[in-house]
């Protein structure tokens, strides 16, 4: 292969990855053409892209991207997968496709520049999705406001309850107090 063709291939991979630092490496060996086409279509629907790599050229591009340690997984036929909603969704989708097709194999990958093994990719699939994390953060952000509203309403309702108790008690006590307090006041006036 000429140097010019290699440069063109590297430029294309550079543009495709566009600075991404989260990539999974797969071995699609053993897949027939129909299964591979279905895999590509399924992944494309989820905005996940895959590209067959020439290992030496991919190693150079990974070095430029700061994920050069991925070279250790670049042996034999290699395919890069990247994109999707986030790293967890990428790992979940690739893992589910691997389980469904039973032929491809996850070699390893990089998540935000950190190199991960195939077992760690499986661990990532157990993480909550981006939407779930956003929901959790939103509920945590709203929790203090809900507590403040609850605390603001609590004294008002507590005060209202106390005022009702006092007013009911004052009505009941007012009738009995007037009779009981009247004789001592009369005695005090007579004595004075």
pLDDT in tens, 133-179: 788 888 878 777 776 676 666 666 666 777 788 788 766 655 544 44
Q: What is the pLDDT of residues 89-124, one digit of tens each?
A: 888 898 898 888 887 889 999 988 889 998 888 888
The answer on 58 and 19 residing in a single domain is yes
The answer on 134 and 98 residing in a single domain is no
Q: For residues 4-42, b (16+ Cβ closer than 10 Å) or e, as one string?
A: eeeeebbeebeeebeeebbbbbbbbeebeeebbeebeee
Please tell me the pTM assigned to this model. Answer: 0.64
The answer on 121 and 58 residing in a single domain is yes
Question: Does residue 43 contact residue 81 with C-beta atoms inside 8 Å?
Answer: yes
The answer on 107 and 53 residing in a single domain is yes
Handedness of CA 50, 55, 57, 63 (dihedral sign): positive
* 21 φ/ψ angles, rounded to the nearest 5 degrees: -120, 15
Beta bridge partners of 111: 114
The answer on 78 and 8 residing in a single domain is yes
Which parts of 54-192 are beta strand (E)? 78-83, 105-111, 114-116
Instruction: Give the rounded distance of the alpha carbon of 36 from its chain centre.
Output: 30
The answer on 86 and 10 residing in a single domain is yes
Q: What is the pLDDT of residues 42-51, one digit of tens each?
A: 999 999 999 9
Structural domain span for residue 79: 3-127
The answer on 133 and 101 residing in a single domain is no
- The residue from 127, 153, 183 where one domain ends is 127
- The residue from 70, 105, 127 where one domain ends is 127
The answer on 145 and 107 residing in a single domain is no
The answer on 181 and 120 residing in a single domain is no
Which whole-number Å values give the CA distances from 88 to 22, 33, 39, in the listed order? 10, 27, 18
Give the CATH number of the domain where residue 116 resides: 3.30.70.1730
User: Domain count of the chain?
Assistant: 2
């Amino acid at each position: 292969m000429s140097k010019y063709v290699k440069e063109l291939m590297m430029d294309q991979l550079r543009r495709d990855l566009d600075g991404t630092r989260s990539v999974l490496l797969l071995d699609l060996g053993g897949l027939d053409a129909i299964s591979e086409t279905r895999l590509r279509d399924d992944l494309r629907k989820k905005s996940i892209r895959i590209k067959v790599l020439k290992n030496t050229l991919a190693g150079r591009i990974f070095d430029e991207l700061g994920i050069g340690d991925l070279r250790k997984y670049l042996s034999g036929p290699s395919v890069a997968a990247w994109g999707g909603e986030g790293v967890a969704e990428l790992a979940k989708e690739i893992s589910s496709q691997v389980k469904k097709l039973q032929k491809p194999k996850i070699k390893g990958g990089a998540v935000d520049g950190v190199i991960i093994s195939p077992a760690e990719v499986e661990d990532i699939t157990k993480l909550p999705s981006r939407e779930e994390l956003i929901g959790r953060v939103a509920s945590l952000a709203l929790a203090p406001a809900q507590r403040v509203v609850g605390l603001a309403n609590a004294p008002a309702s507590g005060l209202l309850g106390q005022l009702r108790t006092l007013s009911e008690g004052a009505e009941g006590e007012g009738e009995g107090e007037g009779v009981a307090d009247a004789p001592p006041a009369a005695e005090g006036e007579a004595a004075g």
